Homo-oligomer: A and B are copies of this chain.
Amino acid sequence: MCQPGRVSDNAFTPPVCVLGLGLIGGSLLRAAVRAGRRAWGHNRSAQSVNAARADGFDVDTDLVAVLQRASAESALIVIAVPLPAVAETLTAIARHAPNCSITDVVSVKAEVAAAVARQGLGDRYVGGHPMAGTSASGWSVGSADLFHDAVWVVGTDDDADPDIWTQVAQLALDCGSVVVPAESAEHDRAVARISHLPHLLAETLAVAGASGGPLALGLAAGSFRDGTRVAASAPSLVRAMCEGNRDALLAALDEALMLLQDARTQLSQQSSTATLVDAGHAARTTYENQETWEISGIVPGQAGWIDSMRDAGRRGGRLRRL
């Protein structure tokens, strides 16, 4: 059985149980094993499990058995299924491994946290979100290198357990990432801007380009290719993350619509695109020149650590070691 709160040599490096072996979960399992962590996984698809086994990994299609083992070995459970499958995964965890530490790698945080709370598992959970991925999906496209130098958000909500927080942060570091602490709602607002809005704009550009027929698509070069790249992502995954972050995405989308509408007015009335183009160039320059700095001196569990972590994350801080 899990023994929450027990301090031992491996208090912050428990074994890892990965539920879902797609691009992210499959890469995480590979990265954890390469980092020397004991780790095993589950996928409901026999095909994926067979492929992962052929690659030498300890995986199974039997969710109950996988969770019972997690419970027996006090594993950190990583939920790596698509958002629509999170609720039933949590139901199984609540039944078979309720005392394990739990994290996830889903691209929205508030909705996952709410689902966790509905199962009464809130005190065992600290969310996560590695900012890595490609437009491909499935076990076969995973890589232990996927998280190398990536940013991994670790949820830093009011009730975060410092030991579980540390377990989750350590897993991110073991996978080669740097940790950015952020509260769930703040995370969701941020990723609406830099991950979900980009998808909707890419889909829009793809449609507008294809409407031009073979001539337009035949002339498409770098700007169209790059601008539509993520439209190649599986629609189910794009929909899951966009729809799972509905309110924050609506706000970001409204901002984009206003910028474009204003640009349309200026182009139409003054034959100018100056306002948007100058602002966009300045913003891209800010992005390229952004400076990050290393968070240090904040100890999970000490008074005020949650506020301090959040504040550091907001100001571009990243944790590189614990």
Would you call B280 and A206 a contact (CB within 8 A)?
yes
Contacts of A191 in B (CB 8 A): 216, 219
Residue A154 lies at the interface, judged by CB distance under 8 Å to chain B: no
Contacts of A288 in B (CB 8 A): 232
Within 8 A of B (CB), among A62-101: none
Would you call B210 and A223 a contact (CB within 8 A)?
no
Within 8 A of B (CB), among A257-298: 257, 259-261, 263-264, 267-268, 271-274, 276-288, 290, 292
Residue A194 lies at the interface, judged by CB distance under 8 Å to chain B: yes
Contact of A277 among B182, B222, B235 (CB under 8 A): B235
Q: Which of A151, A224, A284 lies at the interface centre, i.e. has the most chain B CB atoms within 10 A of its CB?
A: A284
A40 to B221 CA separation, bound complex (whole angstroms): 28
Contact of A198 among B218, B227, B230, B264 (CB under 8 A): B227
Contacts of A210 in B (CB 8 A): 282-283, 286-287
Would you call A216 and B231 a contact (CB within 8 A)?
no
Would you call A273 and B211 a contact (CB within 8 A)?
no
Binds B, one of A4-12, A49-57, A239-247: A239-247
Instruction: Specify the chain B residue showing the minimal Cβ separation from A151.
Output: B219
Residue A253 lies at the interface, judged by CB distance under 8 Å to chain B: yes
Residue A201 lies at the interface, judged by CB distance under 8 Å to chain B: yes
Instruction: Specify the chain B residue showing the minimal Cβ separation from A278.
Output: B235
Residue A114 lies at the interface, judged by CB distance under 8 Å to chain B: no
Would you call B215 and A195 a contact (CB within 8 A)?
no
A228 to chain B, nearest CB (A): 5
Residue A238 lies at the interface, judged by CB distance under 8 Å to chain B: yes
Residue A252 lies at the interface, judged by CB distance under 8 Å to chain B: yes
Supposing A209-B287, A274-B239 touch, asked if A200 and B263 sit within 8 A by C-beta, the answer is: yes
Would you call B180 and A194 a contact (CB within 8 A)?
no
Supposing A151-B221, A193-B216, A316-B215 touch, asked if A201 and B227 sit within 8 A by C-beta, the answer is: yes
Q: Which of A187, A239, A250 lies at the interface centre, i.e. has the most chain B CB atoms within 10 A of its CB?
A: A239
Binds B, one of A26-34, A126-134, A301-309: A126-134
A-B contact pairs, 21 of them (CB 8 A): A150-B221, A153-B219, A190-B216, A198-B223, A198-B224, A198-B226, A201-B204, A203-B284, A206-B281, A206-B284, A210-B282, A210-B287, A214-B316, A217-B316, A223-B230, A228-B284, A228-B287, A231-B280, A231-B281, A232-B281, A232-B285
